[in-house]
Amino acid sequence: MIIDDWLVFLLLFLAPVLSSIPIALVYKSDKWTEKLPYLSVFGIFISVLMSLYIFTSFPENQQYAYTWIPDLGINFVLITDYLSCYMGVITAVIAFFIAIYGLDYMKGDYRPSWYWFFFNLFTASMLLVVYSDNLFLLFVGWEGLGAASWGLIGHWFRDDDEIAYVGVPKRKVGPLELSWPPSFGGWRAISTIRFGDVPMFLAIAAIWVLAGNLNISEINWETLFLNIGAAGTIILLVCFLMGLFTKSAQVPFSEWLMTAMTGPTTVSALLHSATMVAAGAFVFIKISWYIKPWELHHVPGLEIVYIIALFIGLISGLYGALAGSGMLERKVLLAASTMSSIGLMFAVGAASFWIHEEIAGINLALLVAFWYMAVHAFAKASLFLVSGHLIHATHSRFSCGGFEFGKRMKIPFIVTIIATTFLVGIPPLTAYWVKSAMDKSMEILWHEHHMLLPIILLILTSLIYSAIMARFLSLNFVRGEKPEHEHLEGGGLMKLGYTMMVSVLFILLYLIFTNAETKGFVDAGYASVSFAVGAGALIAYVIAVYVPRLKVFSRVPGTFFNDRMYLPFLNDYIMPKTGFFISRIVQNYGNRGIDGFFNTRVIPGLFGIISKGIRAIQTGYLKSYVKIVLGLVMVFLIVESLWGLGL
């Protein structure tokens, strides 16, 4: 291993962070905080160059290890496998395009130093997760994502602008107010994620103890699972998955993702495309890549874990799509659709347990999950950036804008058409070929393993998903209400950001037709089932463009879905009430019982009895002490005699 390799990695991880430190240090100077964001963007650009250099020049499946604590098996270990090389470029490029957009979007913000430091830390942390082979090092990046998300989601901590809220202020359903400020959004994100991070950390510690190795590509997963048995395998992997499910906002941990829309739109775009939410799905794909579950059907308990991941993914996909069908807030609608997409990534990744088919030596299901992640990343980032521009232009976070407005906002209108149609699986656009392979994966579960429900849920989710993306287009550019305010001037860098972002979808379409490993996607696209689903997605899209809101639907079902089927009650009412109830029991009975046992009643009383007994025999007379000693000797002799007789 040569020093130049590590220099590339150091620049990749440290350039974004180091370039944002100057603006953090001069946070009191308006003059410098207006100029230094360009330095922060340049730091991310260096990461783009390094990721591209790694992609084009570094050998595939090469480990780069730096010894840290060899006796404990904890080292800095990076890897340039297929997933890391591609995802590294995706993360860096998306972060760079969003950062360019942010130069316009965040201009005049009241704390740019805070924003740019955490934005760059967010990017660097995700890159560390992507390239890490060592689970401990991966967890360091994982925690960096959590800290940065708290700082960015709650960026507008003053809660002084209604446009940064989620929900309708003062609207209540029962005891719960369905309105959340930025400060609450940041707190909810970090608290929910921490709920999953703790069992994930314990799982990593258990792997280290049981396997003696933390390098994902080196762990003998089969031996590990066989040694701990079915129950151990289920407990270990479910604990690990808890971190992934919470980070990726899967049911029932999805609420933090909706209220995370209180943060700046640039944060939402990065959060939903290349970092944070994608991190959970990416790590699941990466772990499965090396576990190779399709070869471990003899391992007890493993199938149960993958069934859990399969159906949590499918249920989350359907839930997100249904929730989005009733939403009017631009970013929250997109957030629900992201949850849906991530759910499908988990589902098809989990299908790898039953799918043996490979393309260019790569499992079909994992390949589909990863490529869908790539297509979704650029499409969804484009839509979020357009959404931010619309919020600036209309000064409203709710969807509004008719066809006349769309004609005056030509570039964002065109970008939205491209991003939505390329994402929902309409033939012959980019996502169609990936989703065709996804359909094929679920068909295999149906035909070869008699699992019909997954393909039904997938098709249903795909149709609803297509409709909600068309709904976003229509409500903002075609058949929406006229905006109360229009500020269409400026936004040059914002337009540049999302135009560059959406153009990558054409590159991905080209790569699908030219890469050897994606040839199977093209073959699957010509299958009758895939074409039928694609045609259904097109029909749903067209209908939703012309009829984005049904009057009957908008009353009861629409409100139900807009309120996210009242899942906020679980997060904001039921769980807090349950937690406070348990805390009161612990305080009133647990703590008082412990205090009474050790400090005020049992132990002190016992010592009092003993001390009184000791004082009773302390007469000061030799005759009394001789009697006590003789009594003890007699007891000892009697016990010894009985013991000797076997009694």
Alpha carbon 186 to its chain's center: 15
pLDDT digits (tens, 9 = 90+) for 515-570: 999 999 999 999 999 999 999 999 999 999 999 876 655 555 557 887 888 888 87
DSSP run (H or E) holding 362: strand 362-363
Structure tokens at 297: 């059907």
Q: pLDDT-derived band of residue 621, with 50, 70 and 90 as boundaries?
A: low
pLDDT digits (tens, 9 = 90+) for 458-488: 999 999 999 999 999 999 999 988 888 888 7
Alpha carbon 156 to its chain's center: 22
Smallest CA-to-CA distance from 531 within 379, 423, 425, 417 is with: 425
What is the share, in percent, of the chain residues with pLDDT greater than 90? 64
Is residue 339 within 8 A of residue 249, CB to CB? The reply is yes
pLDDT for 52 beyond 80: yes
pLDDT digits (tens, 9 = 90+) for 556-608: 555 788 788 888 887 777 777 777 778 778 777 777 777 777 777 777 788 77
For residues 22 and 18, give the distance between their C-alpha atoms in angstroms, rounded to a whole number.
8
Is residue 269 within 8 A of residue 385, CB to CB? The reply is yes
Structure tokens at 415: 């970008």
pLDDT for 69 beyond 80: no
Is residue 445 within 8 A of residue 351, CB to CB? The reply is yes
pLDDT digits (tens, 9 = 90+) for 420-450: 999 999 999 999 999 999 999 999 999 999 9
Mention every residue, 6+ apart, whose C-beta is less than 8 A from residue 407.
413
- Residue 577: other Cβ atoms inside 10 A: 12
What is the share, in percent, of the chain residues with pLDDT greater than 70? 95
pLDDT digits (tens, 9 = 90+) for 156-182: 888 888 888 988 888 888 788 888 898
pLDDT at 1: 45
pTM above 0.85?
yes
pLDDT digits (tens, 9 = 90+) for 328-385: 899 999 999 999 999 999 999 999 999 999 888 899 999 999 999 999 999 999 999 9
pLDDT digits (tens, 9 = 90+) for 74-92: 788 999 999 999 999 999 9
pLDDT at 427: 95
* Mean pLDDT value across the chain: 89
Alpha carbon 324 to its chain's center: 18
Alpha helices, DSSP H only, in 450-476? Answer: 453-473
User: DSSP labels for 120-158?
Assistant: HHHHHHHHHHHHB-BHHHHHHHHHHHHHHHHHHHTSSTT
- Residues paired with 402 in a beta bridge: 479
Helix, strand, coil % (nearest 5) of the chain? 75, 5, 20
